[in-house]
Structure 1
Amino acid sequence: MGELSRPRDAWMMGGQVTGHISTSSGSSVTGRLSRSQWFERLARAGYVASGLVHLLVGYLAIRVALGSNEEASQSGALAEIAAKPGGKFLLSVLCFVLFVLALWRLAEGVLGRAAHSSTESADKKDETFDRVKAIGTSFVYFSLAFTAFGFARGSGNSSGDKSTGITARLLESGGGKVLLVVAALVIIGVGIYHIHKGAKKKFVEDLKGNTSSLVRGLGMAGYIAKGVAVTVIGGLVIAAVFQADPEKASGLDAALKTLGAQPFGVFLLIAVGLGLIMYGLYSFVRARDAKM
């Protein structure tokens, strides 16, 4: 994205003017957003909100491993918050900062990250991947913000029930089944990416400055645990298609309970729950040190 940092050059290069103007415009917008301290701080607060949700999901997963029948998912975590005194107000705050973080990530995906604009030799493939990833994560944060909004209003529903309903409708047609398989493969790919990112400690590249061994340990365990859970979700969607059973595709709660049903499942589920808690703690670090 070297041309992004040289808007003046665009006016001096004749036939290449159009391309340079458009990318320079995108960079300037991203740059203005990145220089808005209030916007950046609210976006960083979104990582705190995400971390809190992951802490609660990990806690619920451990409770399920010990015999509870609670819903170990994002909606289960938000329901837990809603049930506490002042919970709906807290959910309103979480909804707002998650929405801002989603907007920030969407802007990075569409316009490019301002931090890259001064890198003359930026790898175009890496840049494209980063943009696609930013857009994808923006939808995740939008979805979580929308779910938090529902629970703040007192109309929140189980995400597992929603997933089951959508799956049941798609299973009614051949095209829907193909779409489910494609979605499952994408989900599995995301899960494997998380595992790889954690195992190779690639998440360090998302943070400013030097990272401590504690932060690296939190990120490694957190990304691997989240990757395992996401991969199982994708596998269950495929199982739902081939077994014509939409109940299998009921999201994170079903994935975690499937892990718990395996041999030594109690220990496996506790390990994943602890990993999700560590991911939540890592998200708090990310709120402070993430490259924005």
Structure 2
Amino acid sequence: MTQAGSSARGAAQSANDSKSLDWLAAAGLVAFGVVHLVLGWLVIQLALGDREGEASNSGALAQLAEQPFGKFLVWAIGIGMILLVIWQAIEAAVGHQDEEGKKRIFKRLASAGKAIVYAVIAYSAIKIAIGSGSSNSEKGTDSTTAKIMDLPGGQILVGLIGLGIIGVGIALLVQAYRESYLKKLDGEGKSGKTGDAYRWFGRIGHTAKGIALGIVGGLFLYAAISHEPKKSGGMDQALTTVLDQPFGPVLLILMGLGFIAYGLFCFAWARHLDR
């Protein structure tokens, strides 16, 4: 490793060990929690027959921007997401020191993936805050999928994207079952009646997100198999698919409550962060 590379890695390690990073991560998690609270509310509204708001991360941000002081809140969320990007980027570079070998590599790759997700949400928030956000992300999803399919091996790529999203959904369901999300909290956050509440918020929230992402991934996979880009879609299309099923409104209300639970878990995570 060159001296410059060694210095950069040393600086990243120092940042990772800094208490300031805890505050940075906590602020970002609060912003992430707010996004899920609004998303949960939109999902419940969709279940009750209101299809005006888009039940997705960008839709939640757009709805929030329309409220009093909404633009200020969306700016704050955008900044919070950028803080999460910085946190996960550092974790991807030098984090997870308590792990070894392949497990450390896997967790660092997972942190890199989270950084990308947070960056996308940050980009959406900033676009909406400055008034240039799109009100129809589903159309954008279709267009992007179509462009990917036009590439050599594009149909396979879309299928792999679908499998990847399904994999993330399954991972969230496994975390819910094993309660491994509790590792994110310090000892105080796992004790007493408050700890029990956090445990349920985490279990319900991770289950709801896992199911939703599984459906999103399934839509991408179906689009790849059928070679129809319009069959792919984001969160809003996935939730609409659930709504059209028997007992769909009831299922959707439960999922909306699940997203709200995940948002509350994010607040607990921020309060009792254990890196």
**TM-score, L = length of structure 1:** 0.85
1:142 aligns with 2:125: no
Which of 197, 202, 206 lines up with 2:175 in the alignment?
197
Deviation at 1:155, TM superposition (A): 0.5
Contact kept in structure 2, 1:191 and 1:228, CA below 8 Å? yes
Judged with a 3 Å threshold, the aligned counterparts in structure 2 of structure 1 residues 87 and 129 are, in CA distance, closer, same or farther, namely: same
Contact kept in structure 2, 1:30 and 1:108, CA below 8 Å? no
Deviation at 1:78, TM superposition (A): 0.5
Task: Detail structure 1 runs of 4+ shifted over 4 Å in the superposition.
Answer: 21-25
Gap regions ≥5 residues in structure 1: 1-17
Contact kept in structure 2, 1:248 and 1:254, CA below 8 Å? no
1:291 aligns with 2:274: yes
Q: Which amino acid aligns with 1:223?
A: H
Name the counterpart of 2:239.
Answer: 256
1:66-107 CA-partner distances (Å, limit 9, x unpaired) = 111121001110011111122112211211121011111011
Q: Which amino acid aligns with 1:235?
A: G
Contact kept in structure 2, 1:54 and 1:279, CA below 8 Å? yes
1:246 aligns with 2:246: no
Q: Secondary structure at the match of 1:263?
A: coil
Judged with a 3 Å threshold, the aligned counterparts in structure 2 of structure 1 residues 23 and 125 are, in CA distance, closer, same or farther, namely: farther
Q: Write the distance in 2 (CA, Å) between the matches of 1:92 and 1:220.
A: 30
Contact kept in structure 2, 1:203 and 1:219, CA below 8 Å? yes
Deviation at 1:150, TM superposition (A): 0.3
Q: Which amino acid aligns with 1:135?
A: A
Whichever of the two has the greater Rg, that structure is: 1
Name the counterpart of 2:110.
Answer: 133
Judged with a 3 Å threshold, the aligned counterparts in structure 2 of structure 1 residues 187 and 226 are, in CA distance, closer, same or farther, namely: same
Q: Write the distance in 2 (CA, Å) between the matches of 1:254 and 1:36.
A: 41
Gap regions ≥5 residues in structure 2: none
Q: Write the distance in 2 (CA, Å) between the matches of 1:24 and 1:126.
A: 25
Contact kept in structure 1, 2:208 and 2:258, CA below 8 Å? yes
1:215 aligns with 2:198: yes
Deviation at 1:42, TM superposition (A): 2.8
Which of 71, 77, 86 lines up with 1:94 in the alignment?
77
Q: Write the distance in 2 (CA, Å) between the matches of 1:166 and 1:205.
A: 36
Deviation at 1:225, TM superposition (A): 0.4
1:56 aligns with 2:38: yes
Which of 61, 65, 77 lines up with 2:47 in the alignment?
65
**TM-score, L = length of structure 2:** 0.90
Judged with a 3 Å threshold, the aligned counterparts in structure 2 of structure 1 residues 27 and 262 are, in CA distance, closer, same or farther, namely: farther
Deviation at 1:291, TM superposition (A): 2.1
Which of 22, 30, 54 lines up with 1:40 in the alignment?
22
1:199-219 CA-partner distances (Å, limit 9, x unpaired) = 110101121114111111000
1:163 aligns with 2:146: no
